[in-house]
A and B are shown apart, each in its own frame.
Chain A
Amino acid sequence: MADGPRQSIEHARRGVRKALQQWNAADLKSIGESRVLLEQSVTDIKLAIELLRNGDTTMANGLQPSIASLRRDISTMTRLVDACSAFHRGLSLRLGGALPAYDASGMPVKEPEIRPAHGLVG
């Protein structure tokens, strides 16, 4: 366990980075391992918050870049999981016999507007 807010944040950052690197959307075991790493990062961040709230204000000095980097990785991981989730949401809707309501990026599907095709060459 880390012993200061900086170490806790670094530990959390490494956890999220590792979860990101080893994420394999097609492998349930890998998804589970990534989730465990993320849960450990939750614990680390909670500890960092507690230390910062109860400690010396100077402890916060210079932490901003690490936190920004951590948040970027969380954002990337979220996009990755969202995309995989949207993919399977589309699959399950198709399997259910319903028309797909979402495309692969999770956006509602709309019929493409077809304009008159003038001047096509054959």
Chain B
Amino acid sequence: MSGITASISSAGNALEVLEQALSVIQNNIDNSSTPGYASQRLNLEAMPLDIAGGLVGGLRADGLDNSRDQYAEEAVQSQTQLLGYYTAQAQSTGTIQNFFDVSGGSGVSAALSALFQSFSAWSTAPNDATARQNVLAAANTVAQSFQGLANSLTQTAQQADGQVGSTIQQINSIAAQIQQYNVQRMQSSQPDPGLDAQLYSALGNLSQLTNFTTVTQSNGTVTVLLGGGTPLVIGTQQNVLSQNVSVDTQPPPVYAQSLPTDHVLDSQGNDITSEITGGQLGGLLDSRNRVLAGILGDSQQQGTLNQLAQGMADTINGILQSGTVSAAAGAANGAALFTYDSNNPATAASTLALNASITPDQLAAVDAAGNANGNANALAALENPTGAQGTIGGLSYLQYFGQIAAGAGQENATATANAQTQQQLAAQVTSLRDQISGVSLDKEAAAVLQFQQAYQATAQVLTVLDNLGQDLMNLIVPV
């Protein structure tokens, strides 16, 4: 080949390659706001130049490089999973918390206070018909308050079940997209940036919903494993998840008629609920199966609200039934003030009611020893008990309810604080991912070291601050 021909050929070749490079750049610009898209770079290789030997030089395109960093992608997914978890937990526990009036001005707390006041008024006038009637009215309000709270919380549990169901549907839908990606990936010999962007966008959406890990196979397909290792997508196969809301049978239920538990099942019907510990689904399941179940009960626990309802009803009924309606010889024993479904203690709060057959005359003010207002006094004393009677775990009924309410509030406060912190963490890691995207990390090793040193220096100052903060607190609250 002559020199001029070789030069023209080389220049033509170079133009062709540069046109490809421009096309890649244009593609990057067009997709700059495409979710999940990572910029591409065309590798250009100089060809040997030896005119005499027939080597015309010029440029050769040597494949596309992807700026995506798998480690950074996983870091963002990991933080997004936590953000989804805490956000769902905060919203869900916020709803639960709203049903508790910690001020004591309304609800169960106010009703209990009014009942104890009615006992107190009755103890000073044990034969007064109005005082007796007031006791019945206050007891009715207490029963309605317990029922109302239990029903509201049960409805919240049912709404959470609905949210869990729709989240599982979203997960299945995204898993189907990933499965389709794998099908297409297996059909093409080269990575497709557009397809790749769709995959990472889908994984980003999935990370908001549940915890998972991914493994890229040698054929380019992506395997998605749920937290515990159960596959969600393997190659062209999808494990379709489903929901089951039922009372646990393993271990055998202690409370067969309790609030059912929310379960996530794989396509074989295996219970994989315990593997879901992240994302929106993890947060919803935690609030539903742990926080709400702690209050309303499940197959293995009675629930704190039911414990309170049953304990209070049994104690008050026990006192009244041990006494008599008057001090006269042969006077009838008192009637129970409350009823509930004693066969199902895990429904005590929702079935608590004023004894439908009781009349004011059947209230027994006289205690077993014959004291005219002994029972009424004993009932009034339940507001601030001095012995074991009228307590649960050493707390009065009012204090115990306060503890349930405070527990719900604490759950919400913790979840809200975690969600706020996680919001910042997720934003930071996304920023770090974007920072390293498109640069050669091997060439940037020195910068990575610099950042590490900067973080370390900051962490040391924070350690000092933390210790000083502790010292400061110890100064005003001596340990």
Q: Do A and B bind each other?
A: yes
The 8 Å CB contact of B476, one of A60, A75, A85, is A60
* A4: interface (CB < 8 Å): no
Q: In whole angstroms, what is the CA distance A45 to B268 when docked? A: 59
**CB-defined interface of B235-270 with A at 8 Å, one 1/0 digit per residue?**
011111000000000000000000000000011100
Is B471 part of the binding interface, using a Cβ–Cβ cutoff of 8 Å? Answer: yes
The interface residues of chain A, by DSSP majority, are classed as helix
How far does the Cβ of B430 sit from chain A's closest Cβ, in whole Å?
Answer: 10
Whether a CB of chain B sits under 8 angstroms from the CB of A18 is no
Contact between chains at A91 and B71 (CB < 8 Å): yes
Query: In the bound complex, what is the Cα–Cα distance between A23 and B78 (angstroms)?
Result: 21
Asked if A64 contacts B476 (CB within 8 A), the reply is yes
A76 CB contacts on chain B under 8 angstroms: 417, 420-421, 424
Q: Which chain B residue shows the least CB distance to A76?
A: B421
Question: With A67-B472, A76-B424, A115-B230 as given contacts, are A121 and B237 in contact (CB-CB < 8 Å)?
Answer: yes
Q: Is B368 an interface residue (CB 8 A)?
A: no
Partner of B468, one of A49, A79, A119: A49
Known contacts A103-B78, A112-B229, A42 near B435 by CB under 8 Å: no
Residues 18-69 (chain A) with a chain B CB within 8 angstroms: 20, 23-26, 28, 31-32, 34-35, 38-39, 41-42, 45-46, 48-49, 52-53, 60, 63-64, 67-68
Across the interface, do B237 and A80 meet the contact criterion of CB distance under 8 Å? no
A91 CA to B425 CA in the complex, in Å? 17
Q: How far, in whole Å, are A31 and B455 apart by their CA atoms in the complex?
A: 8
B106 within 8 A of A: no
Those of B437-464 within 8 Å (CB) of chain A: 441-442, 445, 448-452, 454-459, 461-462, 464
| CB–CB B462/A122 < 8 A | no
Instruction: Flag whether B429 is at the interface (Cβ < 8 A).
Output: yes
Between A and B, 14 residue pairs with Cβ closer than 8 Å are A26-B435, A31-B451, A42-B465, A52-B472, A67-B472, A71-B469, A72-B417, A81-B458, A88-B448, A91-B441, A92-B452, A100-B71, A117-B239, A121-B267
